[in-house]
Chain A
Amino acid sequence: DAGVTQSPTHLIKTRGQQVTLRCSPKSGHDTVSWYQQALGQGPQFIFQYYEEEERQRGNFPDRFSGHQFPNYSSELNVNALLLGDSALYLCASSPPNTGELFFGEGSRLTVL
């Protein structure tokens, strides 16, 4: 049983560009959340998707958007990249009715 998988693992972009990160949740999990983790900090909640809709959102600008597909996989899109968007982006999935999150290994984004 595969865990949460994310792609790509590393990527480098320049300021102003756009990026799409992808996540496949663990089998049987219906909720996907995205977190941003800056170096030396704890993860910060970006948003959460359930039943293909954004259910909750953290304190992130509209440049951050997402999508969940019928197979529960998800994408995170960031437009107009800034240097400060450089971080590890973590996807986490959770099964129905539990609070425990299962994290992927993350996508490390560097913005130059």
Chain B
Amino acid sequence: SQQGEEDPQALSIQEGENATMNCSYKTSINNLQWYRQNSGRGLVHLILIRSNEREKHSGRLRVTLDTSKKSSSLLITASRAADTASYFCATEEGTGRRALTFGSGTRLQVQP
């Protein structure tokens, strides 16, 4: 079953614009992670935010986490055509359990 649900399912923007993707989840979590997947390939880890953190930055990425609303957002600033991919949020439940529950993903298309 999918724990996280990403919104929107698909997003198309122009190069240079910012892209925002949202994720909602259902249970208590240890951490939330964002992954990127180019078409039909393996997933690449982008960023991990722990349940006691509210915001985290990595390069052009900014992630927020609101545990009271059970939601997270991923912001990609100054997007590039190379950012075109599917983006998934994944939650790790409890402590010591390293199985991740993934959402259904947001397909991002960045037009050059």
Contacts and interface: CB of A to CB of B under 8 A. Distances in A.
Interface of A: 4, 31, 33, 35, 40-45, 48, 56, 58-59, 88, 90, 92, 94, 99-106, 108
A59 B2 CA distance: 11
Given A42-B88, A42-B105, A59-B1, A103 B99 contact: no
A42 B42 CA distance: 12
Contacts of B4: 42
Q: How large is the interface on B (under 10, 10 to 19, 20 to 34, 35 or more residues)?
A: 20 to 34
28 contacts: A33-B98, A33-B100, A35-B102, A41-B105, A42-B88, A42-B103, A42-B104, A43-B102, A44-B102, A45-B99, A48-B99, A56-B98, A58-B99, A90-B43, A92-B43, A99-B31, A99-B33, A99-B48, A99-B92, A99-B98, A101-B33, A101-B100, A103-B35, A103-B44, A104-B42, A105-B41, A106-B42, A108-B40
A85 to B, nearest CB: 17
B45 A45 contact: no
B1 to A, nearest CB: 7
B98 A31 contact: yes
Given A42-B88, A99-B92, A106 B99 contact: no
A94 B45 CA distance: 11
Contacts of A88: 40
B111 interface: no
Contacts of A92: 43
Contacts of B41: 105-106
Contacts of B31: 99
